[in-house]
Amino acid sequence: MAIVYKFGGASVKDANGVRNVEKIVRMVEDDLMVVVSAMGKTTNALERVVELLDAGKEEQALSQWVDIIDFHVAVMKELGLQPGSDIRLQGEIPYDPTLPFDENYDQVVSMGEILSTQIIAVYLLKQGLSVEWWNMPKLLRTDNTWREAKVDDAVSASLIRAGWERAQRPQIVVTQGFIGGTADGKRTTLGREGSDYTAALLGNYLDAESVTIWKDVPGILNADPRIEANTVLIPSLRYQDAVELSYSGAQIIHPKTIRPLENKRIPLLVKPFGDPTAAGSRIAEDGVGPIDVPVYIWRKNQLLITMRAKDFAFVLEESLSEIFEIIHRHRLKVSLIQSSAVTISVCVDNTRFVNDAIEELKQHFNVTYNDHLSLLTIRGTTPEILDRAKDGRTVMLSQTTRRTARLVVKE
């Protein structure tokens, strides 16, 4: 049976990270599918390259690109690899000014994962492991919704299963998270932080025994340790609890990760890459729930849009369907909804799609909005916990049920 391991950018941010990957994969005897993100902050750096090119700042873009390549070359050298002979380096930026921004974005930004996986695959090979490098743009088939490509499960599953059957055993396959490709050979990306989702899809297609996400935290904690001082590890969760956590904005796993695993009852493990024998957290069919400690989840960079009727002919149901049609079409991600007799408020992620959506909403409603907001969700709250959370904060809106509180607060 296959085991799937996913290493995020933080776990492969330098040569030591790559050596640590070797140490961890050596502990496995089964066939292993290793899904890797771009190294460190490479994805952000590549995003800047596309933005600079789009703004016509070619020199700056090129120097940014050279920095990215240099960084990878330095890692290769530190690992004893020969840039140019062990790994072919792409000299030119895969950018075509005649194409739309989003299409260029996918061609350029996907290079981060291509580079990281080549380095890791060649390094492991040189350490004597039996490794295959797979190119997901040829195997994970998607449509051409650039930057948020939709995966064709039927085609992808059959390509990936066929590859898996063909490969030698015991084997380690090293491949990219976050990226796929269209039928006509263009690279696509699945949305930021999408590597977890790739790992889950591969787990599903291969009927994996388990999928493990290696992180820089001990597992799933009840709060972000960078924000809260006292955090506790949640050792066991049910799929539904994990879905709720990630949709509330818990950064720990990408929201799309759970469904493909739940469908096949495949356990998801979240473990610390610095301490590979630690148990971490396990999300599974037989997970323990509900979670019995208060959980704090911050969803940052929120925008609260309030729509008010332009006239007295306001029918809540009609307005709601109109609003959500617009919101959906503009690909906004809604984190909270509240309605009153004459207003509807929605909290959304403040993304690049927001302005166009607001313009369209303005044609139908009087629209006001606030930005620089965060949504704090507290699961397993009590009145005391809620008071403490509100203390010293400007609360724009709050929604509470018996066990869950949601506060939209100023950042």
- The window from 35-43, 48-56, 358-366, 374-382 that contacts ligand ASP (CB under 6 A) reads 35-43
Partner residues linked to 271 by β-bridges: 214
Of 147 and 282, nearer to ligand ASP (C-beta) is 147
In the three-class reduction of DSSP (H, G, I as helix; E, B as strand; rest coil), residue 283 is classed as strand
By the rule CB under 5 A, 381 interacts with Mg ion: no
Q: Which does 178 bind (CB under 5 to 8 A by kind): ligand ASP, Mg ion, none?
A: ligand ASP
From the list 107, 142, 195, 210, which residue makes contact with ligand ASP (rule: CB under 6 A)?
195
Residue type, 333: K
Which residues 239-258 are close enough to bind ligand ASP by CB under 6 A?
none
Query: Least distance (Å) from ligand ASP to the CB of residue 385?
Result: 32
Partner residues linked to 87 by β-bridges: 83
Query: Least distance (Å) from ligand ASP to the CB of residue 17?
Result: 13
- The window from 189-197, 303-311, 325-333, 399-407 that contacts ligand ASP (CB under 6 A) reads 189-197
Residue nearest to ligand ASP (CB): 195
Quote the radius of gyration of the chain (alpha carbons, Å): 23
DSSP element (H, E) containing 61: helix 58-78
Of 47 and 54, nearer to Mg ion (C-beta) is 47
Quick check: 110 and 189 in contact, CB under 8 A?
yes
Of 192 and 390, nearer to ligand ASP (C-beta) is 192
Q: Measuring CA to CA, which residue among 290, 297, 301 is closest to residue 228? A: 297
Query: Least distance (Å) from ligand ASP to the CB of residue 174?
Result: 15
By the rule CB under 6 A, 112 interacts with ligand ASP: yes
By the rule CB under 5 A, 37 interacts with Mg ion: yes
Contacts of residues 82-90 at CB distance under 8 Å and 24 or more positions apart, as own/partner, are 86/122, 86/126, 87/115, 87/118, 87/119, 87/122
To 10 degrees, what angle do helices 58-78 and 15-26 make? 50
Q: What are phi and psi of 163, to 5 degrees?
A: -60, -40
Which residues 139-178 are close enough to bind ligand ASP by CB under 6 A?
177-178
Query: Least distance (Å) from Mg ion to the CB of residue 29?
Result: 29
Give dist(CA 120, CA 18) in Å, integer. Answer: 6
Query: Least distance (Å) from ligand ASP to the CB of residue 156?
Result: 17
Token pair 């006001």 is found at 368
Quick check: 264 and 191 in contact, CB under 8 A?
no
By the rule CB under 5 A, 9 interacts with Mg ion: yes
| Positions that interact with Mg ion (CB under 5 A) | 9, 37
Contacts to ligand ASP by CB under 6 A: 8-9, 37-38, 43, 112, 177-178, 192-195
